[in-house]
Amino acid sequence: MKVHLFHLPLALLGLIGTASCTSSRSPLAPDTVATDLGAIGAGEGPAWKDGSLYFTDGQHINRRDADGKTTVFRHNASNGLLFDAAGRLTACESGLRRVTRTEEDGTITVLASDFEGKRFNSPNDLCVNSKGDVYFTDPRYGSRKGMEIRDNQGRLIEGVYRINRPANLPSGLCMFAYDIPNVTLILGPEEVQRPNGILISPDDRYLYIADNNNNTRGGSRKLLRFTLNRHGRVQPGSRKVLFDWQDGRGPDGIKMDAAGRLYVAAGRNQANDFETTRFKAGCYIFSPHGRLLDFIPTAPDEATNCAFGGNEGDTLFITSGQHLWSVPLHR
């Protein structure tokens, strides 16, 4: 299922820019069709490695092979997933409030579980820069009970953090066992409300955040961009809003292709007390500067994340309402 530009709501058509360069053209061919691969419990965290797609279902990390067979890869509920340069799976284990890495021998390394002695809220999604530093978001959806991290003014922090070069950590051990000051707060309540999806540009220049305070009336539902300095810290005053989902369901997972286009899972098809259906569930494709280029609808509801895969990296996978969708890309 594909919605072309002439099928988009008028509110979206006015936001779509045109340009001749690749990064400002849709990567979808005119006859593109999204395929529903079934209700296989694909709730979040799609990540591709060696011909298989990994995703989470709220209880396990699952692996879907080239034949379409799904098996349990690892227990422990998680959210965002990524494979590092060495091919090891790094996960935001939201339930256990930590970020971990699965080593080649199957052992679990805890990369971070607290900030200055206070437990994280619920690590949600993650990305890595060219140096191997892991950046992750730490929102809290639902109950506020048990939140521990506050700023100097006593405000609860739903922040963005950096784990400094975890690639050098010995296998199977916790970083805090080596007394390494490994976690840095990158963004706090002055810049973000409830950070969800996260992405760093390949040149380490920009940090993209899906600020999705979706269970609060009037909460932020924005795609944000920040400029990073050479030390990987956010430059003051660099916050820029690329897109605003207004009263709809805001952005979730984010990916970027080789041309710099942004793929953002967002929207919903069934309204609730906090969100309208102004923006339908699916993947919103933007130019690097935030121009809406195209939209891929999904069902039944709530597009949550996306990832590139396939033999040539030319397939987009989308998790939505426990269904997995695949979309061929024309680059």
- Residue 206 CA to residue 200 CA, distance in Å, equals 6
* Residue 100: per-residue pLDDT: 96
* The predicted structure's pLDDT at residue 169: 52
Q: By C-alpha distance, which of 84, 86, 109 is closest to 99? A: 109
* Total number of domains constituting the chain: 1
Model confidence pLDDT, tens digit, residues 264-276: 999 999 999 999 9
Taking the model in full, what pTM does it have?
A: 0.89
d(C-alpha 326, C-alpha 306), whole Å: 9
Strand partners, 324: 319
| pLDDT above 80 for 16 | no
CA distance 247 to 37: 30
Domain of 313: which CATH number? 2.120.10.30
pLDDT score, position 269: 94
- For the stretch 196-246, pLDDT in tens is 999 999 999 999 999 999 988 899 999 999 999 999 999 999 999 999 999
Cβ distance 310 to 28 under 8 Å?
Answer: no
Q: What is the pLDDT of residues 69-114, one digit of tens each?
A: 999 999 877 899 999 999 999 999 999 999 999 999 999 999 999 9
Band (21; pLDDT cuts 50, 70, 90): confident
Strands 206-212 and 195-200, by their bridges, are antiparallel
Domain range for 67 is 5-328
Confidence of residue 331 (pLDDT cuts 50, 70, 90): low
What is the C-alpha to C-alpha distance for residues 51 and 43, in angstroms, rounded to an integer? 20
Cis status of the peptide bond prior to 189, with omega within 30 of 0: no
Report angle CA 200, 204, 205 to the nearest 5 degrees.
Answer: 95
